[in-house]
């Protein structure tokens, strides 16, 4: 599900003539519904949806080009350009999303930090893997042509895996 939503989030204006950020709001609503149903607490779902939107909207000043991604928070990525910035952005985005579930005891602190950190690290890993993965889709509804677009699809797959763990963990208790 997130494999597709994460890519559509990047093209809502181009393909659907929706205002910028429309699929981010749709994704936030989907997350809110999933978490609300899993926890049987609509307030946890609403908080997760709102915090997802806030985390996703954070402007890290990124240029969408792997070789030149330099954020305002960390502007000296000597080890691997863009990795630190993308990891922090991914961690911030998902830490906010899952914070209500952790606060209300659906995760331990360790599980919360591990889930957020792994999704943070998966962000730059996805863009790096996109160099080596051949996906080419260019239709009326979705485009996956550039390395960044392939990275969004791969990152969506990581998000799907993470949400499968959340569902299994929450239901299995």
Report the number of distinct structural domains present in the chain. Answer: 1
Q: Which of 136, 165, 132, 116 is nearest to 7 (CA)?
A: 136
pLDDT at 83: 62
State pTM to two decimals: 0.76
121 membership: H or E segment, kind and range: helix 109-129
When pLDDT is averaged across residues 58-78 and rounded to a whole number, the result is 42
Give the residue, 7 or 35, on which the prediction is more confident.
Answer: 35
pLDDT at 63: 39
Other C-beta atoms lying within 10 Å of the C-beta of residue 5:
18
Percent of the chain with pLDDT over 90: 33
Give the residue, 49 or 90, on which the prediction is more confident.
Answer: 49
The residue whose two tokens read 């999933």 is 34
Domain of 150 in residue numbering reads as: 2-172
Tokens matching residue 149:
């677009």
Indicate the pLDDT class of residue 72, thresholds 50, 70 and 90.
Answer: very low
Q: Virtual CA dihedral for 56, 23, 25, 167, nearest 10 degrees?
A: -80
| Alpha-carbon gap, residue 17 to 141, rounded angstroms | 11
Q: What is the pLDDT of residues 16-45, one digit of tens each?
A: 555 556 677 888 899 999 999 999 999 999
pLDDT at 21: 61
Give the residue, 71 or 153, on which the prediction is more confident.
Answer: 153
């Amino acid at each position: 599900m997130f494999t597709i939503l994460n890519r559509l989030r990047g093209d809502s204006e181009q393909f659907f003539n929706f205002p910028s950020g429309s699929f981010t709001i749709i994704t936030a609503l989907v997350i809110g519904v999933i978490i609300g149903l899993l926890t049987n607490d609509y307030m946890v779902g609403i908080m997760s949806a709102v915090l997802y939107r806030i985390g996703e909207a954070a402007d890290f000043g990124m240029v969408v080009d792997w070789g030149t991604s330099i954020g305002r928070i960390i502007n000296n990525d000597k080890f691997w350009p863009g990795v630190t910035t993308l990891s922090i952005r991914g961690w911030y985005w998902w830490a906010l999303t899952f914070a209500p579930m952790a606060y209300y005891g659906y995760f331990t602190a360790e599980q919360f930090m591990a889930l957020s950190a792994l999704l943070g690290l998966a962000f730059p890993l996805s863009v790096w893997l996109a160099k080596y993965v051949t996906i080419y889709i260019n239709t009326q509804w979705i485009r996956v042509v550039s390395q960044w677009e392939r990275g969004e699809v791969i990152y969506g797959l990581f998000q799907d895996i993470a949400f499968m763990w959340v569902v299994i963990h929450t239901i299995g208790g």
